[in-house]
Amino acid sequence: MHKDIVVRQLPNFINGDFVETGDTFDVLYPVTGEVTAQAHRAGQAEVDAAVAAARAALTGPWGGLAQAERSSMMRAIADGIVKRFDDFLEAEVLDTGKPKAVASHVDIPRGGANFATFADIVKDHPTEAFRLDTPDGAGALNYGVRRPRGVIGVISPWNLPLLLMTWKVGPALACGNTVVVKPSEVTPSTATLLGEVMNEVGVPAGVFNVVHGFGETGAMITSHPDVDGITFTGETGTGSIILKAVAPTLKASSMEMGGKNAGIVFEDADLDLAVAELGRSCFLNTGQVCLGTERVYVHESIFDTVASRLVDYAKNELRYGYPDDPSTNFGPVVSDEHRDKVLSYYKLAEQEGATVLHGGGAPVFGDERDGGSWVEPTIWTGLAHDSRVATEEIFGPAVALIPFRDEDEVVRLANDTRYGLAATFFSTDVSRVHRVAPRLEAGIVWVNSWFLRDLRTAFGGMKQSGIGREGGVHGLEFYTEMTNVCVKIGT
């Protein structure tokens, strides 16, 4: 049992104030199933108030800040997260059940970095300028001016709650926008806590707002006439619903959606490196990573070796336990609902003829963890490339191993999917590296590595994995509007 659990109240954060409602819902601790918090559900009145506050802040103190001042505020927010590191870590662990050893090295540091990084990117990024020669010889000067898009609706997921929420809020605020955030109803705590940091560092009221709820609350934001853009990370089907909702008002949309990411192990790969990186990409965060690997194509000459070594990784490197134990690196999935989805694919895999090399069910602990949302890390062989398990996103700690014969075949197999978010492959042949990487239909391709991220680079997917790119200057296309100013030069 998590020590000293006290049920917390999670109000909405609107115009700098914490707003309770008469309608609450429980937030559960996935390790044991205990109630750890009650979130206050926002209705139309709360959403309207949040949007109105965000709209007013655009032309209030926030809109009047120079870019250097706004960037300084971004760094203050980053410092505020670091100052309250332990509070954010505790909130994230209670919502997600993930080990502290993982969250303290990934989720919380990135939560702060997303503000600090974009503070510098926006401050230092130049706009374009062109000199035009006109027929009369006078000439003209064209230059670009970027302005905030306006009120941004941020709809963020439950797998990396703080990291992925701030990945959107950071650049949005750095560009001068204001935001209304709807965190997942499963993991609402760190978004609420960030409201406290905003007040502590002096962010003007209305710049950052949080409303809690389920899909209907998100729909109130996406359809709101005073919201200028929607940025979303989540499942592809939900993204499609959002795009339909924003169509009547032609809101700008940035969508990072699902993936069924491929890994490839060529016959010349460094197998020690490949197995270690694939172990992370298949099982980190209990497989609940949009960039994770759910299908791995292994050259037939080394297939049995790689399969055996990946099973050894799952048996010996993944350690179940309570989040406070520093040796724990494998936790539950986020909810009973998601556990049941993952387990349904475990059952389907056997129906589709899979050989289960490891896992395939739910662990039994004989203690209070049996009330939590646990599944086993699972490795299959024997699945057809076009089976449902090998083509549909599971978003759990499960991987299908499939053999291949040659380079052209594996590129075709890797690209034969409706998704296109990420891929990773392993080879020591430099020519092959530069030959294969551009052929893979994915927004991010890692070579001899995985999840090695530079926040200045483009992030996003192809096909049904998303629309648009975030990261570095690429996000400016969504978070700002560009005006071209043309000045004729007199003769």
In a domain, residue 489? The reply is: no
Q: Which residue has the tokens 């192990």?
A: 265
In a domain, residue 190? The reply is: yes
Residues 299 and 181 in one domain: no
256 is catalytic: yes
Residues 22 and 55 in one domain: yes
Strand partners, 404: 299
User: Domain holding 210: CATH number?
Assistant: 3.40.605.10
Residues 114 and 245 in one domain: yes
Residue 6 — pLDDT band, cuts 50, 70, 90? confident
Residues 421 and 474 in one domain: no
pLDDT in tens, 227-272: 999 999 999 999 999 999 999 989 999 999 999 999 999 999 999 9
Q: Which of 290, 376, 393, 470 is catalytic?
A: 290
Residues of the domain holding 184: 8-257+465-484
The domain total for the chain is 2
Dist. CA 213–CA 218, nearest whole Å? 8
Residues 41 and 183 in one domain: yes
User: Domain holding 363: CATH number?
Assistant: 3.40.309.10
Contact 4, 12 (CB under 8 A): no
Pairing of strands 24-28, 17-19: unpaired
Residues 80 and 96 in one domain: yes
Q: Which of 90, 92, 256, 294 is catalytic?
A: 256
DSSP annotation of 321:
-
In a domain, residue 299? The reply is: yes
Segment 484-488 mean pLDDT: 96
Residues 420 and 320 in one domain: yes
DSSP annotation of 150:
-
Dist. CA 420–CA 232, nearest whole Å? 17
Residue 359 — pLDDT band, cuts 50, 70, 90? very high
Rounded to a whole number of angstroms, the distance between the first and last alpha carbons of the chain is 80
Residue 3 — pLDDT band, cuts 50, 70, 90? low
- 435's tokens: 């030959």
Strand partners, 255: 232, 467
pLDDT in tens, 323-347: 999 999 999 999 999 999 999 999 9
pLDDT greater than 90 at residue 196: yes
Residues 334 and 228 in one domain: no
In a domain, residue 1? The reply is: no
pLDDT greater than 80 at residue 1: no
Residue 272: how many other CB atoms lie within 10 Å? 9
In a domain, residue 460? The reply is: no
In a domain, residue 197? The reply is: yes
Q: What is the pLDDT of residue 124?
A: 85
380, containing H or E segment = strand 378-381
Residues 274 and 246 in one domain: no
pLDDT in tens, 120-143: 999 888 899 999 998 888 899 999
Residues 164 and 271 in one domain: no
Using alpha carbons only, what angle is made at residue 275 by residues 272 and 277, rounded to the nearest 5 degrees? Answer: 105
Residues 382 and 370 in one domain: yes
Q: What is the pLDDT of residue 491?
A: 65
In a domain, residue 136? The reply is: yes
Residues 210 and 250 in one domain: yes
Q: What is the pLDDT of residue 73?
A: 97
Q: What is the pLDDT of residue 379?
A: 98
pLDDT greater than 60 at residue 291: yes
pLDDT in tens, 56-72: 999 888 988 999 999 99
Percentage of residues of the chain with pLDDT beyond 70: 99
pLDDT in tens, 37-47: 999 999 999 99
Residues with Cβ within 8 Å of residue 362, at least 6 apart in sequence: 339, 343, 374, 375, 376
Q: What is the pLDDT of residue 137?
A: 82
Q: What is the pTM of this model?
A: 0.96
Segment 75-96 mean pLDDT: 98
pLDDT in tens, 429-467: 999 999 999 999 999 999 999 999 999 999 999 999 999
In a domain, residue 109? The reply is: yes
Chain mean pLDDT for the chain? 96
Cα Rg of the chain, angstroms: 24
